[in-house]
Amino acid sequence: MPIIIAVGMQWGDEGKGRAVDLLSEDVEIVARYNGGDNAGHTVTVGDKIFKLHLIPSGIIHGHTIGVLGNGLVLNPATLLEEMEMLRQAGIIITPERFWISDAAHFITPAHRLIDRAQESARGKSQIGTTGRGIGPSYVDKCARRGIRVGNLLQPEAFREKVKQHFEDANKLLTILYRQPAIEVTSMAEEFIGQASQLIPYIKCVGMQIRHALKYHKIILAEAAQGTLLDLDQGSYPFVTSSCTTAAGIFSGLGIGIQPVDRVIGITKAFQTRVGAGPFPTELFDKTAAFLRGTGSNPWDEYGTTTGRPRRVGWLDLVLLKYAVEINGATELFLTKMDVLSGLDEIKFCTEYLMDGIPVSELNFSGGAAELERCQPVYRSTPGWQADLRPIRKWKDLPPQVTKYIQIIEAFCGIPVTQVSVGPERSAVITRE
């Protein structure tokens, strides 16, 4: 079956946007199936840098159809801004090539306020959310009181539902979190005005994709966030509120379980995390400053959505292997290899000491409490000085680079098929 899944193997920001843009060259439909505008996917084409939060990265190619599946939570205000940003850049955004599932849920301004109020109420135990209202919108979905995109098609009932939502949110905000009340009528009208502009794009996405599959169209699924932020398999509770793994594609797009051609695990050549939670291989020394960069380059480690400096560290192979298994990854797409140039030695974690006992495989579900008890055990391999950015052929890679790649492959048991050596579309080495 012509399904390809591109999924993040770490705590997000692995370079999914960059990889999906490249993979979209030969596909018809590119679909997001989870999360919302907490994602920030960067695509660099020549001197243009696109930062996409909702619309699939494959939309930059003129031949694709971009799809937002039912698994998403959508803020109409930021979605409309993104559609406009793309139009200004010459990308065609029409109902013919951009579809929104009628079963996706909305994020309202009240969800954002609740997200922020909950974070401050958590005090020292903050998750470090993006403040985009993701969790509260999924809470309403699970509590079966969410507002679905398809509700827009009954305008009067939609208006009532939205008002009721803001009234309920007011109780939570004022009584539980001691925040000022929302002005329900004006906020509801503004929200309805924005959401209504999306009506032309509404589709029964599940049915459309099921049809496309029958006609052997190739579907590329673009995950948001990363495996270690998955609600079930990630470092709970320091996770997001959706299914970020490959498994989420079936329920998040509304298609049946069926064979998938490729599950491409996107991973950086080192480790990063933005937000709170355990990070066994985190660094705080001059190597951390080296890996993060100062912010002077567009690819330096500062959040695409929030601008926060990302926490950085050595590649954690124990977690990478776990992610490979959880996703059934068939191959790895390794990004930011160029960033390691200039280091004398590259370290990587191959096992932990968990309460002093060696552990080389996660024998728990990645939860934060267990991960916090793990001390990394490192091995190392020689670094390299060469600038990798101009290299386009595998045979031209310095032997230290191929050795590091072989170590990753041997540990994870799957091949590295592509190595990215710069943010730009062409800066990639595909294994022959």
20 contacts 30 by C-beta, under 8 angstroms:
yes
Task: Tell me which residues touch ligand GDP (CB under 6 A).
Answer: 8, 12-18, 40-42, 44, 298-299, 304, 335-336, 338-339, 420-423
Q: Is 336 in the site for ligand IMO (CB under 6 A)?
A: no
Shortest Cβ contact with ligand IMO: which residue?
Answer: 275
- Listed residue (34, 72, 14) closest to 249, CA to CA: 34
Partnered with residue 35 across adjacent β-strands are 72
Q: What are phi and psi of 124, to 5 degrees?
A: -70, -15
- Who contacts 117 (Cβ-Cβ below 8 Å, separation ≥6)? 173, 177, 179
Among this protein's residues, is 13 annotated catalytic?
yes
CB of 160 to ligand IMO, least distance (A): 28
CB of 408 to ligand GDP, least distance (A): 15
Interhelix angle for 76-88 vs 184-196, to 10°?
Answer: 40
Question: What, of Mg ion, ligand GDP, ligand IMO, none, does residue 275 touch, CB below 5 to 8 Å by kind?
Answer: ligand IMO
Q: Is 14 in the site for Mg ion (CB under 5 A)?
A: no
# binding residues, ligand IMO (CB under 6 A): 24
The one among 130, 151, 245, 267 contacting ligand IMO by CB under 6 A: 130
Question: What, of ligand IMO, Mg ion, ligand GDP, none, does residue 244 touch, CB below 5 to 8 Å by kind?
Answer: none
Q: Is 274 in the site for ligand IMO (CB under 6 A)?
A: yes
CB of 228 to Mg ion, least distance (A): 14
Q: Is 13 in the site for Mg ion (CB under 5 A)?
A: yes
The window from 39-47, 57-65, 93-101, 212-220 that contacts Mg ion (CB under 5 A) reads 39-47
For residues 270 and 401, what is the distance between their CA atoms, to the nearest angstrom?
Answer: 13
Q: Which of residues 87-106 bind ligand IMO (CB under 6 A)?
A: none
What is the distance between the terminal CA atoms of the chain, rounded to a whole angstrom?
Answer: 23
HSE-up of 51 (CA within 13 Å, CB side)? 15
Q: Is 229 in the site for ligand IMO (CB under 6 A)?
A: yes
CB of 50 to ligand GDP, least distance (A): 10
Partnered with residue 67 across adjacent β-strands are 31, 99
Beta strand 331-335 with 262-268 is: parallel
The one among 2, 8, 36, 40 contacting Mg ion by CB under 5 A: 40
CB of 16 to ligand IMO, least distance (A): 6
Q: Is 235 in the site for ligand IMO (CB under 6 A)?
A: no
Catalytic pick among 21, 26, 37, 41:
41
Q: Is 312 in the site for ligand IMO (CB under 6 A)?
A: no
In this structure, the number of other CB atoms found within 10 A of the CB of residue 164 comes to 14
Identify the DSSP state of 58: G
Q: Containing H/E element for 348?
A: strand 345-354
For residues 170 and 164, what is the distance between their CA atoms, to the nearest angstrom?
Answer: 10
Q: Is 267 in the site for ligand IMO (CB under 6 A)?
A: no
Instruction: Name the token pair of 176.
Output: 């539980």
Residue-wise DSSP of 265-280: EEEESSEEE-SSS--T
Instruction: Name the token pair of 161.
Output: 């539902």
- The site for ligand IMO (CB under 6 A) is made up of 8, 11-13, 38-41, 127-130, 132, 134-135, 224-226, 229, 240-241, 274-275, 304
Which residues contact Mg ion (rule: CB under 5 A)?
Answer: 13, 40, 304
Active site residues: 13, 41
